[in-house]
Amino acid sequence: MAGVYLGRHMTSGQVVAVKVARDRGCEGDYLERTRDQFAREAEILSLLRPCRHIVSLLASGQFCARRPYLVMEHVDGWDLEREIVNHGPFSPTEVANLLTQVCAGLQAAHDLGIAHLDLKPQNIMLRRGQSRRVVLVDFGIARRRGDSRKVAGWVEGSPLYMAPEQLAGDDEHLGPAADIHALGLLAYLLLSGRLPFDLDQRWCIGDLIRSRLGRDPVALANRTPWLPSDLCLLVDSCLAVDPIARPHSAAVFSHAFRHTAADSCDRSAQKTLLNLRVALAMTLPLATASKKRRTLVKGLEPRPPSRTQHHS
């Protein structure tokens, strides 16, 4: 429906991303729908401009052939899909850092009654640099509260990350809760390296829809038994079929995930420290006998023996 190209402003020299409607098949009723969609995306991005975790809109308009376009900031970096392929899965602390930023962008949209509806790794950019700042992109099918633009026979979104109500074409219950479901799928993927449903290698859209609507997702604890159960249950709660049963907001989920991840990190650190202390206790006699005092663990070095003064 649209292509995104790298461009450069002829006056300022600023590097930008230009989203342009494709010319093939872009005519008649389809062209009108495309123009409306670009106009809605431009309006939504204008409303969300103050949020640093959402791509900034610089300009919008139409070419002479009435093909719409959007000019947006160029996010110098790569998408989360590439990060997952190269470095995933991730620790709870790393996932918490990523999801905190994703949730900040989603919450900014949800506070204005806007649902993204296409949250997936390809639409999450990581800005180049040590901080790896997250930027949400592609609000092409996003909708505002009360916006009912359903086209008969059309279901918009990415099937792997769509909520059940979105897959079923249930527009009446489609809103921010669908983004919470996608957020849970994203967290599941980051922690386990897989999505919570099993598909054959030659799966088709029909197989995917039947699998997702007819079967319960695989519990995260079954894929990652080493993770704390409360963290797994939190992620699983996002995948509930009933939108009301999911976390009430992206901010609520973010807060709960950060604290649960921190608790799991503390427990892991305490276990590691205990193991180090046991190892230290076992090596102390040998270190004392050889009269070579070495700091085995910073902060856990053996105390020097007390000195006794001898009076002649």
* 96 lies in the same domain as 44: no
- Higher per-residue pLDDT: 266 or 308: 266
pTM, two decimal places? 0.81
Is 138 found in the same domain as 58?
no
Dump pLDDT digits (tens) for 97-122: 999 999 999 999 999 999 999 999 99
Nearest to 44 by CA among 29, 60, 32, 30: 60
Q: Is 84 left (phi over 0), alpha (psi -120 to 50) or beta?
A: alpha
Q: Is the pLDDT of residue 54 over 90?
A: yes
Catalytic member of 23, 29, 79, 118: 118
Q: Does 284 score more than 70 pLDDT?
A: no
**Residue 301 placed within a domain:** no
More confident residue, 298 or 6: 6
Residue at a domain's end among 221, 241, 264: 264
Rg (CA), the chain: 26
200 tagged catalytic: no
Question: What is the distance of C-alpha 253 from the center of its chain?
Answer: 12
Domain that holds residue 156: 77-264
- Which CATH number covers residue 26? 3.30.200.20
Which of residues 73, 107, 126 is at a domain's end? 73
Is residue 174 located within the same domain as residue 29? no
Q: Answer yes or no: is 64 within a domain.
A: yes
Shared-domain flag, residues 175 and 251: yes
